[in-house]
Structure 1
Amino acid sequence: MGNDQGKPNFKELSKGTKFSTKELSDWHKKFKKDFPDGKINKQQFITLYQKMFGDDKAASTEFCEHVFKRYDTDNNGVVDFKEFITTLSVASRGTNEEKLMWAFKLYDKDNNGRTSQSLMILSLANFFYLAIYKSRNVANPSQKAKDTARSILNKADDNRDNRLSEAEFIMHVKDCPEIKDMLHGF
């Protein structure tokens, strides 16, 4: 990324993201304003995440720490601008498949390319709850989110081993109407 005191190489960074050099420059200014040392530590990240989502189900400290680890790709205990903007690029401008791949990796806690169906149900339910049902004032949004997640994942578990591979997850989940709607909203 360049040295931590100066500006990153926006031209080089634009090759690895879906942002123009101008957009990267604007994002960097905002990032440096909020994080003058150019890094987000774990506690700052948790505070930000909890402020954004505010819901104790999806913003528990344990879950926030897990999300932080996914942002901190070099495992040095902080999220620098390059790590931040790379993730933001996928979340805001990635293809549906790229977004789903990132989401799957978020829940593949041991990085083995598979995750338990129960963990995915819980994770997707929290996501549906926050991203769709609560904001649309759906009756009993928490239960509706769990039911939707369970239905999707029961269809996705092709080999019925109660675990989902990334391929199973992406193949089945990307065609779910609620997820399509949600992915286009980001």
Structure 2
Amino acid sequence: MSQMSAVNRKHIQALVETISKQVEHFNKTEIECLIRGFNGLLREPTVLENACSGLDRGRFRSILHNMFGMTDDMIMDGVFRTFDKDNDGLVSMKEWIGGLSIFLRGSLDEKIKYCFHVYDLNGDNYISREEMFHMLKNSLIMQPTEEDPDEGIKDLVEITLKKMDHDHDCRLSFADFEKAVREENLLLEAFGTCLPDATSIESFERHVFEEQREY
């Protein structure tokens, strides 16, 4: 048992060294806690030896919901796509830690790129009028009125385009989105909540990093 735990410990230390060179915003102690936490989320003790292990879409979405209070299916799918860099349908340990570094502690530059990718539903590097419509319709709570709610969403899309579409091609490129957010930071999550609030971040970090005090 002690020999196994020594091997495991060595393996974790090697992973910490590798990941710390690739990921900003976390120190080595925090990365070790995140590795152990990831193994707990998978509920698979052999995850370190299993290169195919990762969080599938369902597990990932339940974590976003339970730990960060996210409820919008479309946005959660976008967050999953953004974490899943190699597009294999699983968020690996390295993808999880790399994604969390921006999700929890990213700079404005990193968050602008992250949010744009979440909102670019079909991955064509533009946020189209249709994509805006679907995301806003999904994220807004519609009040029952006699007016067609879709008309209200369409009006909101047009207002948003007018404010953010700097090159007037009726869709948002990354340059449009970045310029608009730099001018008005509140537009970062214009199409739905895809970043955790301060309370969720504090709670998650306390939960994961409390292991530090045990070493």
Given candidates 96, 101, 111, the residue that maps to 2:123 is 111
1:48 corresponds in structure 2 to: 63
SS in 2 for 1:164: strand
Q: Of the two structures, which has the highest relative contact order with CA contacts closer than 8 Å and spacing of 6 or more?
A: 2
Structure-1 separation of matches of 2:178 and 2:137: 16
- Mapping for residues 18-167 of structure 1, pairs under 5 Å: 18-37=25-44, 38=47, 39-51=54-66, 52-53=68-69, 55=71, 58-59=72-73, 63-120=75-132, 122-123=134-135, 151-167=159-175
2:203 corresponds in structure 1 to: none
Q: Is the 8 A contact 2:83 2:91 kept in 1?
A: yes
TM-score, normalising length: structure 2: 0.61
Q: CA deviation at 1:12?
A: 2.7
2:177 corresponds in structure 1 to: 169
Taking a change above 3 Å as real, the CA distance of residues 124 and 82 of structure 1, as seen in their structure-2 partners, is farther
Structure-1 separation of matches of 2:61 and 2:97: 17
Structure-1 separation of matches of 2:137 and 2:179: 19
SS in 1 for 2:73: coil
Aligned length in residues: 168
Structure-2 separation of matches of 1:82 and 1:11: 12
What does the per-residue CA deviation read over 1:5-53, in whole Å, with 9 as the maximum and x for residues that have no partner? x426212312322211111011111111121334212221233334444
Structure 2 stretches lacking a partner, 5+ long = 1-10, 48-53, 144-152, 199-215
Q: CA deviation at 1:126?
A: 6.0
Q: Calculate the aligned-residue CA RMSD, in Å.
A: 3.7
Given candidates 19, 22, 46, the residue that maps to 1:13 is 19
Taking a change above 3 Å as real, the CA distance of residues 54 and 33 of structure 1, as seen in their structure-2 partners, is same
Percent identity of the aligned residues? Answer: 25
Q: CA deviation at 1:159?
A: 2.2
Q: Is the 8 A contact 2:115 2:188 kept in 1?
A: no
Which protein has the bigger helix share?
2
Larger radius of gyration: 2
TM-score, normalising length: structure 1: 0.69
Structure-2 separation of matches of 1:93 and 1:157: 28
93-102 or 32-41, which moves further after superposition? 32-41
Structure 1 stretches lacking a partner, 5+ long = 1-5, 135-139, 141-145
Structure-2 separation of matches of 1:101 and 1:25: 26
Structure-1 separation of matches of 2:197 and 2:182: 14
Q: Is the 8 A contact 1:18 1:89 kept in 2?
A: yes
Supply the AA of the counterpart residue of 1:175. E
1:143 corresponds in structure 2 to: none
